[in-house]
């Protein structure tokens, strides 16, 4: 027994160091063995350190992570507040509760309602509050954000919304060089890969096919506004390839002189120096506009979905864009989840949020049980869309 104690005393600083470094390391740099050694050896203490807090919760050896996602908000602050509150992301004052590890919004915050400015600023506030509490907000640009930065500012926008900016010109300025445009450039992406487990690295770590033999290699979700089409040529490396295209295209759009609003002026289109890949990003089959996962027949969709999940290193794809006004739509056993339910009053859909509750629990010295519960949260009811349990044998070093 004294030998065991000696071993523990020696391991303590090593494991502490591993825990400290884990959030900074990319997944391939973190040996799974090191992580599992820590996980099986020590009781975790609750921590408020931002990086570590995201990875570990109080309560011995079980790991938990809670992700909440919300679809198209389209300028409706009161409904957005209701939705985030009922999903536990914010309190009644609109502040981050800390009960959720990651909050994801899949784009289309703008247009159809008058609260565009308020909503973007609120998302920025939540991003800061989340960061301070060890959580994270992941924001995405939808086709409506892109349409506006391209210059289609009067096609979908209500005159009352334009008034909140002052004028169309002021609105365009705020979406390019102003506070909203700066926030888009710094903190919004086209897509995300969100890990269920920290062994995969921080959010938006690229999927590395060399790690495919690890049982946790695909323990992640993708989020995007429209959809990741099987035919889309720029899927990999996921998600950095798509997000690099989004970043460069947004920069070109924000840097050009704002074109006169369309209509009545002609459709300005993408900048002249946009590359073919940037055009594909914004095309019908690109991640911002694709609707195939929502509208194609079940057999067709389910025959194609695994290929995309495989390539992107994920188990599920979550998207907005194609509304169902009654419910969150789950297809192919929850591999595809469509979360646009027309939350904005202009659509009169149902108020909804998606909750993903992940746990990894030790069952024996070398055995672990993974559980993912995917729940549609509505105002007065909840519906479990998937409850998947996997048994993992061995430790995390089995790759």
Ligand X SMILES: *[C@@H]1O[C@H](CO)[C@@H](O)[C@H](O)[C@H]1NC(C)=O
The residues that touch ligand X, with contacts defined as CB under 6 A, are: 124, 127-128, 131, 182-183, 186-187
- 386-390: long-range contacts, CB 8 A cutoff, minimum separation 24: 386/316, 386/330, 386/333, 386/334, 388/334, 390/215
131 vs 248, which CB is nearer to ligand X?
Answer: 131
1 vs 186, which CB is nearer to ligand X?
Answer: 186
Q: Of 67, 226, 218, nearest to 142 (Cα)?
A: 226
131 vs 240, which CB is nearer to ligand X?
Answer: 131
Q: Is the dihedral of CA 207, 213, 217, 219 positive or negative?
A: positive
Cβ burial 68-84 (10 Å sphere, 16+ → b, else e): bbbbbbbbbbebbbebb
139 vs 214, which CB is nearer to ligand X?
Answer: 139
Query: H-helix or E-strand containing 95?
Result: none
128 vs 307, which CB is nearer to ligand X?
Answer: 128
The least CB distance from residue 314 to ligand X, in Å, is 24
131 vs 236, which CB is nearer to ligand X?
Answer: 131
The least CB distance from residue 136 to ligand X, in Å, is 9
**Beta-bridge partners for 68:** 103, 355
What span, in angstroms and rounded, lies between the C-alpha atoms of 382 and 389? 20
Cβ atoms of residues 243 and 190 within 8 Å? yes
180 vs 354, which CB is nearer to ligand X?
Answer: 180
The least CB distance from residue 306 to ligand X, in Å, is 35
- Helix residue ranges, H only, the chain: 2-21, 32-41, 50-55, 77-86, 116-132, 143-150, 159-165, 168-176, 179-187, 240-255, 276-281, 292-295, 298-312
Length of the chain: 399
178 vs 268, which CB is nearer to ligand X?
Answer: 178
The least CB distance from residue 88 to ligand X, in Å, is 20
Tokens matching residue 182 = 């700066």
Q: What is the 3-state secondary structure (H, E, C) of 164-207?
A: HHCCHHHHHHHHHCCHHHHHHHHHEECEEEEECCHHHCCCCCCC
The least CB distance from residue 182 to ligand X, in Å, is 4
The least CB distance from residue 249 to ligand X, in Å, is 18
The least CB distance from residue 241 to ligand X, in Å, is 22
101 vs 340, which CB is nearer to ligand X?
Answer: 101
Cβ atoms of residues 293 and 308 within 8 Å? no
What span, in angstroms and rounded, lies between the C-alpha atoms of 41 and 38? 5
Query: H-helix or E-strand containing 382?
Result: strand 382-393
């Amino acid at each position: 027994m004294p030998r065991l104690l000696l071993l523990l005393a020696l391991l303590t600083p090593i494991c502490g160091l591993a825990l400290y470094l884990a959030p900074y390391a990319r997944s391939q740099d973190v040996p799974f063995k090191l992580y599992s050694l820590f996980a099986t050896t020590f009781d975790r203490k609750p921590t408020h350190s931002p990086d570590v807090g995201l990875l570990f919760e109080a309560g011995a050896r079980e790991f938990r992570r809670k992700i909440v996602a919300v679809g198209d908000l389209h300028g409706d602050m009161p409904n957005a507040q209701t939705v985030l509150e009922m999903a536990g992301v914010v309190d009644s004052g609109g502040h981050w509760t800390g009960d959720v590890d990651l909050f994801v919004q899949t784009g289309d915050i703008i247009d159809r309602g008058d609260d565009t400015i308020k909503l973007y600023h609120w998302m920025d506030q939540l991003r800061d509050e989340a960061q301070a509490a060890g959580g994270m907000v992941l924001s995405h640009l939808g086709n409506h954000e892109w349409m506006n930065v391209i210059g289609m500012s009067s096609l979908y926008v209500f005159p009352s919304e334009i008034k909140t900016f002052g004028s169309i010109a002021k609105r365009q300025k705020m979406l390019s060089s102003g506070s909203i445009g700066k926030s888009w450039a710094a903190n919004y992406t086209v897509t995300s890969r969100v890990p269920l487990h920290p062994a995969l690295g921080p959010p938006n770590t690229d999927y590395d096919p060399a790690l495919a033999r690890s049982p946790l290699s695909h323990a992640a979700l993708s989020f995007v506004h429209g959809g990741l089409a099987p035919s889309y040529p720029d899927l990999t490396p996921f998600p950095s390839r798509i997000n690099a295209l989004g970043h460069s295209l947004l920069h070109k759009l924000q840097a050009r002189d704002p074109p006169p609003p369309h209509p009545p002026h002609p459709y300005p289109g993408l900048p002249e120096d946009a590359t073919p890949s940037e055009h594909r990003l914004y095309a019908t089959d690109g991640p911002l506009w694709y609707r195939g996962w929502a509208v194609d027949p079940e057999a067709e969709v389910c025959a194609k979905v695994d290929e995309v999940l495989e390539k992107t290193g994920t188990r599920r794809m979550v998207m907005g864009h194609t509304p169902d006004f009654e419910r969150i739509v789950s297809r192919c056993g929850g591999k595809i989840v469509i979360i646009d339910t027309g939350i904005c009053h202009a659509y009169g859909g149902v108020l909804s949020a998606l909750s993903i509750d992940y746990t990894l629990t030790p069952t024996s010295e070398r055995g672990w049980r993974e559980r993912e519960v995917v729940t549609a949260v509505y105002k007065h009811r909840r519906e479990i869309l998937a409850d998947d349990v996997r048994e993992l044998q061995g430790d995390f070093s089995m790759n």
